[in-house]
A and B are shown apart, each in its own frame.
Chain A
Amino acid sequence: MLKDILLIMLSCVLVENFIFSRFLGCCPFLGVSEKPGTALGMGCAVVFVMTLASAACNLVYNFILVRFHLEYLYTIAFILVIAALVQFIEMFLKRFVPALYSALGIYLPLITTNCAVLGAVILNMNNYSDMPLGQSFIYSVAFGFFAAVGFTLAIVIFAGVRARTEFSAPPRSFKGTPIALVTAGLIAMAFSGFSGISIG
């Protein structure tokens, strides 16, 4: 069990990094990676939401959708759970942890349409829903948490590199997003070195 969790960690953070090998969450990756500070803020918000969303969606799937044979409605159910969860977290933080709210505040609403969150939840359902209930719950939460950590790692590294490309002078048509994408490709190349590690 502990070994499996460790493997999930290694594969989510490095080998099958959400951005660089699965292409989940590219929009915020390109959108808020201008400065390392904001990138870290976004990353923390994603870790927070993705862990809770994995837990909530696992429970909803196992105790509501499966029980009433509504598995085919999973897309609608999950997106609603995520939207409600984000709204709820926003209200909770605003009321009880205002410091954290002012740090994460602007990023939270963006997360509802972050495909990394919905993607993680659906991958959890595909991979872990056949297991016993307790085990599938723990694995799902671990997957959500570590996938978000991998996302944060990628976005912070990328923001650091991008801060330097701001000062360079690429050809005019490459300015902005195109050069950022090429940079991302080079970092992805570095990350693909990890795929040599065989897991399992």
Chain B
Amino acid sequence: MKFKKQLADGVIYKNPVLVQLLGLCSMLAITTSISNAIGMGLAVTAVLTCSNLLISLLRKVIPEQIRIASFVVIISGFVTIVEMLIKAYLPDLNKSLGVFIPLIVVNCIILARAEAFASKNGPVASILDGITMGIGYTLALIVISAIRELLGNGTLAGVNIMGSSYKPMLIAILPAGGFIILGCLIAGMNKLLSMTGKKKKEPAHTGDTLVTEKKAKEGTENA
């Protein structure tokens, strides 16, 4: 039951990207294709879960004054591990994500969850929090990259969707398009939240239906 609530929070009501607006830098930079988005999402989820677990285990040991510094060291340790794994087993992904893998260290999501959740809750809840927030982050990344890849390249995860006569809308892949599409998505999310808020807080449905709804809506808006 509690897990369900956490999942709904992570994916919709407190979605790290679309509602809390955390970690926008790496997000804008790597969402030019779905495969990048999935790779980055999984990397962040792994780091988030591990660092949440370790920080919540150490939460009584770390002194109050130097907690931020300790969090940063713990997080950068896990980022280094993830980076070495990606370098060893997925060299293509490493090449396309480039400098943004080590930059997971300064991704605000991880430090924010460490400070707001893991340093106050037990290890099991913290792991769940890491996983659900990670899922929310990954889904948001996938939605944005799907829109950008489809409009800017005519493909979806490398498969040609729009047919050969489609002239790619290059702006969607360029930085400018990234900013604009993200702005529209956040606005759509605001609209959605205010609409569901009016309906006397219906029990949350599963995340997928909402996300696909939103995606369809955004698709029509952008096209």
A residues contacting B by CB (< 8 A) are: 20-27, 30, 72-76, 79-80, 83, 112-115, 118-119, 122-123, 126, 171-175, 177-182, 184-186, 188-189, 192
Contacts and interface: CB of A to CB of B under 8 A. Distances in A.
B216 interface: no
B1 interface: no
A119 B101 CA distance: 10
A186 B24 CA distance: 17
Given A24-B103, A185-B177, A192-B174, 6 more contacts: A23-B178, A73-B80, A113-B108, A122-B103, A181-B182, A192-B175
Q: Which 4 A-B pairs have the closest CB atoms?
A: A181-B183, A185-B179, A185-B180, A23-B29
Nearest to B31: A23
B151 interface: no
B42 to A, nearest CB: 18
Interface string B173-216: 01111111011101110110010000000000000000000000
B24 A185 contact: no
B183 A115 contact: no
A174 B187 contact: yes
Nearest to B84: A72
B121 interface: no
Contacts of A112: 72
Nearest to A118: B106
A173 B184 CA distance: 9
A79 B175 contact: no
Most chain B CB inside 10 Å of its own CB: which residue of A23, A27, A74, A184: A23
B175 A178 contact: no
A186 B25 contact: no
A183 B180 CA distance: 8
A24 B178 CA distance: 13
Contacts of A185: 175-180, 183
Interface of B: 21-26, 28-29, 69, 72-73, 76-77, 79-80, 83-84, 99, 102-103, 105-108, 111, 171, 174-180, 182-184, 186-188, 190-191, 194
B179 A118 contact: no
B186 A22 contact: no
B25 A27 contact: yes
Given A122-B99, A181-B180, A182-B179, A80 B25 contact: no
B190 to A, nearest CB: 4
B111 A173 contact: no
A171 B188 CA distance: 11
Nearest to A18: B25
B86 to A, nearest CB: 13
B26 A115 contact: yes
Contacts of A182: 179-180, 183-184
Given A26-B24, A122-B99, A181-B179, A113 B187 contact: no
A185 B174 CA distance: 10
A171 B187 contact: yes
Given A23-B26, A26-B25, A75-B83, A115 B76 contact: no
Most chain A CB inside 10 Å of its own CB: which residue of B23, B83, B99, B107: B99
Contacts of A74: 102
Contacts of B178: 23, 185
6 contacts: A27-B22, A75-B76, A115-B107, A126-B99, A182-B184, A185-B177
Given A23-B29, A23-B178, A184-B179, A177 B21 contact: yes
